[in-house]
Structure formats: structure tokens, C-alpha cells
């Protein structure tokens, strides 16, 4: 059974960098699949942030691309998100998820439980 678990600070100051890690169990990241981050502001809908292939190829949402870095650490079986220069608009529940690719096109079949990150001084 594939399981994903997000971890990281729940409170980040404006202008600082948000850093989250997603630990994967029940599946080896190096074996394949895409791995992604999706966020959901309180009371709002879902926004795709970006995805990374197990080989390291990345795909980012253009609306966030200048501030986002997603990386993978196969030795720890985890992947990470960094979002720089955060503002209150970045306050959201952040989900990590496994991306199943159909001809390189991704939907998400396993999700972490989500972690709330609040941007506030």
C-alpha cells in the first residue's frame, strides 16, 4: 500500500521560503512514476504546483515557476518542495501525491493527508 506523508513547518514568515518534504512508503520512488505537489487555500479549490519524474525532470505551474523548486531524494525515498518569497496568498493546505502517467500526462492516484502552512508574521 502506497503511503505519502507531508512534513514541514506549519508557520512561515512573509518573504521567507516554505519548505516541505513528502516521505513515501510502500513504493520506491526510483522505480518510476511522477511525484507532485498540489495546494488548497482554506475554503477554496485545488491548484497544481508542480511535479517531478523519478529521474529528476520537473514540470512547474507557470504561475509559480519563478518561486518553486521540487527535488527528489531517492536514497531517502522522499521528495521536497521549496516555495520562495511567500506571502499570505500562499497560505494553504499542501498535498503531496503520486502521479500516474498516461503517455506522459499525469493524474494523481495516491495522496498524502495534507499539511496546513500559514504565512504570517
Partner 1 sequence: AIRMTQSPSSFSASTGDRVTITCRASQGISSYLAWYQQKPGKAPKLLIYAASTLQSGVPSRFSGSGSGTDFTLTISCLQSEDFATYYCQQYYSYPLTFGQGTKLEIK
By CB under 8 A, name the binding residues for partner 1. 45-48, 51, 59, 61-63, 95, 97, 100, 102, 105-109, 111-114
Which residues 6+ apart lie within 8 Å of 16 measured at CB? 86
Residue 77: count of CB within 10 angstroms of its CB: 16
Residue 102 is placed in which grid cell? Answer: 498516461
Element containing residue 3 per DSSP (H, E):
strand 3-7
Query: Least CB distance from residue 97 to partner 1, whole Å?
Result: 8
Nearer CB in complex with partner 1: 1/121: 1
Nearer CB in complex with partner 1: 16/100: 100
Residue count of the chain, please give it.
121
Nearer CB in complex with partner 1: 3/74: 3
Query: Least CB distance from residue 52 to partner 1, whole Å?
Result: 13
Amino acid at each position: 500500500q502506497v503511503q505519502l506523508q507531508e512534513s514541514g513547518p506549519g508557520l512561515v514568515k512573509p518573504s521567507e521560503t516554505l519548505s516541505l518534504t513528502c516521505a513515501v512508503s510502500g513504493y520506491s520512488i526510483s522505480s518510476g512514476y511522477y511525484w507532485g505537489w498540489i495546494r488548497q487555500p482554506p475554503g477554496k479549490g485545488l491548484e497544481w504546483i508542480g511535479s517531478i519524474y523519478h529521474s529528476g525532470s520537473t514540470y512547474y505551474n507557470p504561475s509559480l515557476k519563478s518561486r518553486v523548486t521540487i527535488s527528489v531524494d531517492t536514497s531517502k525515498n522522499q521528495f521536497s518542495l521549496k516555495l520562495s518569497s511567500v506571502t499570505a496568498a500562499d497560505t494553504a493546505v499542501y498535498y503531496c501525491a503520486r502521479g500516474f502517467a498516461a503517455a506522459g500526462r499525469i493524474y494523481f492516484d495516491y495522496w498524502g493527508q495534507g499539511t496546513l502552512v500559514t504565512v504570517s508574521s
